[in-house]
Amino acid sequence: MKEKAKEFATHAHKGQKRKNSDADYITHPIRVAQRLESEGFSDELVCAGYLHDVVEDTIYEIEDIEKHFGKKVAQLVAAHTEDKSKSWKERKQHTIDVIKNGVKEVKYLIVADKLDNLLGLEKDLNTLGSVVWNNFNAGIADQKWYNESIVRYMRTGLSSEEIPNYFNEYEQAVSRVFG
């Protein structure tokens, strides 16, 4: 099932590129899925890692995910999919609310995604400088609010044994990027 999810996501994101880069977009979902797999999470969560941006950024709908990968994977992807008809602030507040109140598998998916995005941003900032902010829908102050809010709430409702190591890595990256 994981290989099928990787192939589906690769097809769905064909031709898309990462911000500030010529890298194929699929490199991001692959890294997210690999991080989830390295933590020993379920096949469904790893599949959701591959598929987490498909509904948001391609022609496919959540029903396509459910048809090919089942209800659980579709629920994980749906919980992390933003409603692009809403403003940037509304979308990010929704994600913060999901992080604060969501089930642990959704938290794991969101933080893995945000960590990979932030590590890419950090690399771009070091290489290209502050011009990278021009490619975002919100400026540095809003990005700082968003990322610090995720850090604030990502551990809510989790026991210490349920917190993966990459949560600490994300918190450290937020501190490095936003001070």
Q: Report pLDDT for 103.
A: 94
Residues above pLDDT 90, as percent of the chain: 80
Q: Report pLDDT for 17.
A: 85
Domain range enclosing 87? 2-178
Tokens of 11: 């097809």
Question: 147 and 118 in contact (C-beta within 8 Å)?
Answer: yes
Question: pLDDT tens for residues 96-137?
Answer: 999 999 999 999 999 999 999 999 999 989 988 888 888 777
**What domain count does the chain have?**
1
Q: Report pLDDT for 33.
A: 98
Rounded to 5 degrees, what angle do the CA atoms 43, 44, 47 make? 85
Q: Report pLDDT for 60.
A: 94
- Give the catalytic positions in this structure: 56-57
The CA R_g of the chain, rounded to the nearest whole Å, is 15
* Residue that the structure tokens 């709908």 belong to: 61
Q: Report pLDDT for 161.
A: 96
Half-sphere exposure of 128 (CA within 13 A, CB side): 15
The CATH number of the domain where 123 resides is what?
1.10.3210.10
Torsion of CA 136, 141, 143, 144, to 10 degrees: 150
Helices (H), the chain: 2-12, 27-38, 43-51, 54-57, 62-69, 71-80, 88-101, 104-128, 140-153, 165-178
Residue stretches of the chain with pLDDT short of 70: 20
Question: 80 and 48 in contact (C-beta within 8 Å)?
Answer: yes
